[in-house]
Chain A
Amino acid sequence: MTLAPSLLIEDLAFAYPDGNQALFGVNLRVERGEFVAILGPNGAGKTTLVMHMNGIHPAEHGSVSVAGEVIDTNDKDLLRRIRGKVGVVFQDPDDQLFMPTVGEDIAFGPYNMGLRGAELDAAVDHALALVHMSEFKDRPPHHLSFGQRRRVAVATVLAMKPEILVLDEPSSNLDPASRRELANILRELKITTLMVTHDMPYAYELCERSIILSGGVVVADGDTKTILSDSKLLSENRLELPVGFSL
């Protein structure tokens, strides 16, 4: 028996209520344990795609399945399960961290999944240890540095033991050392990871596979090195490697 892929998106299209169509039929299959970078210019529909992966936006056309289960946004129990499986780390940690202390914030997700008492504490401690932030458990989020807040934001979803980790611009606004620390942490996790990013070197370093999303469709899908070496493909999609960077 072959395992179901972690994520399977078939012919997904979506338009916002104001009529602005963001996705025009996206197909994507991500196997267990893969690291995939989602590249694309601003306004390509990357964030919209992410919002479909955990059922925030309902699939208007086409389907999204996580570990073999098709997301149905009308089924509340299923939705809760899906949100436990797909951990989304948002770009601005201040959007993600809203509880008075780091520990309580990390407890929020597993609490919603039904964990209580010692089990909940264990999940929080484990997630904090994974991002090397254990000593910050009782601190309020606004007293942490940006890099620390980003790591805590990652921990908030790790505490839910997700099947897939989805990161929206994980390296944005980080100093080089924080960027490096986060990369090491992500590599240690060994779970299926999708990262939306403009940071080409980061994608090259962490992800063996990349897709380019542009104009609401997947225009390229393949080995990261091959994609990033194709300067014509990149420039057609408003992407480029940093000056001085070569593969």
Chain B
Amino acid sequence: MAVLTFIIVSAATPITNWQAFIAYFAAIYIVSLVAKIPTPTLLKRSLIEIPFIFFAILMPFFGTGERFEVGPFNLYRESLLAGAGIVAKGTLGVLSAVVLSTSTTARELLRGLEKLHLPKLMVQIAAFMLRYVNVISDEMERMKVARESRGFIATGPKDWKVIAIAASALFIRSYERGERVHLAMLSRGYAGVLPHDMSEGASLKIWLQGLSLPLFALFILISTTVIG
């Protein structure tokens, strides 16, 4: 939740407030240090963002309005600002999500979601995904080995058809497994609720620790807005 608030606050900050963004990045980095996450891991995991910001990077080259030149490039001021905003805010969001996912086990995350009163069904779906992602990736691996044992080696687009067919077979198998799991659950009297141990609520200290990041970001936003 702290992460979500932090993302919302940073997304609400106008990009022209560049001092605020420097403070945000510093804050995330400090949190990652406190959580003992090695910086290379943090950077490597945030690479996932690249496909999403690709278009944001292209934005300054297209657009309307005021133009100026940087070296050989012809840039548009408004698009540059918008693009930079997306890149900066996106990176902040990804970094904070990476910190959360690296420092918290998936099960704790699910419990947290349940406590935040996310619809039960959604939490259950996420829990099942967690359980079966291994089973399905093993199945995928076995299918790959079986394909390769019969002399298939994917080399380029001409082999995509085979891979697409394998993916659809995997999809159907997973769907059927879902049905079997459901039957197995019904056989043990499933009536819509999963058992969960009532873990104790978070203490005040944990709340304060959790809220320190978004509160800090909010403080930066307000102060830079007032000063700037």
Contacts and interface: CB of A to CB of B under 8 A. Distances in A.
Nearest to A97: B131
A95 B131 contact: no
A86, A90, A95, A157 — which one has the most chain B CB atoms within 10 A of its CB?
A95
A52 to B, nearest CB: 12
Contacts of B190: 108, 112
A84, A98, A120, A157 — which one has the most chain B CB atoms within 10 A of its CB?
A98
A108 B188 contact: yes
B184 A95 contact: yes
A56 B135 contact: no
Interface in A96-136: 96, 98-100, 104, 107-109, 111-113, 120
A99 B135 CA distance: 13
A51 B183 contact: yes
Nearest to A120: B195
Contacts of B107: 100
Contacts, number: 74
A113 B189 contact: yes
A80 B181 CA distance: 17
A167 interface: no
B22 interface: no
A160 interface: yes
B209 interface: no
Give the secondary structure class of A's interface: helix
A160 B188 contact: yes
Interface string A150-193: 00000011001000000000000000000000000000000000
A56 B188 contact: no
Nearest to B139: A94
B189 A56 contact: no
Contacts of B127: 99-100
A50 to B, nearest CB: 9
Interface residues of B, number: 22
A56 B187 contact: yes
B127, B132, B183 — which one has the most chain A CB atoms within 10 A of its CB?
B183
A65 interface: no
B188 A112 contact: yes
Given A98-B128, A99-B131, A90 B191 contact: no
A141 B130 CA distance: 12
B184 A90 contact: yes
Interface string B166-181: 0000000000010011
A83 interface: yes
A98 B188 contact: no
B194 interface: yes
B189 A112 contact: yes
Contacts of B187: 54, 56, 83, 86-88, 90, 157
A99 B184 CA distance: 12
A95 B132 contact: no
A100 B107 CA distance: 8
A83 B190 CA distance: 9
Nearest to B183: A56
Contacts of A61: none
Nearest to A53: B187
Interface of A: 51, 54, 56, 76, 80, 83-84, 86-88, 90, 92, 94-96, 98-100, 104, 107-109, 111-113, 120, 140-142, 156-157, 160
17 contacts: A56-B187, A80-B191, A86-B187, A87-B187, A88-B184, A90-B187, A92-B177, A94-B177, A95-B184, A98-B128, A98-B181, A98-B184, A99-B131, A100-B131, A107-B195, A108-B195, A141-B131
Given A108-B195, A112-B191, 4 more contacts: A83-B186, A83-B188, A100-B107, A100-B130
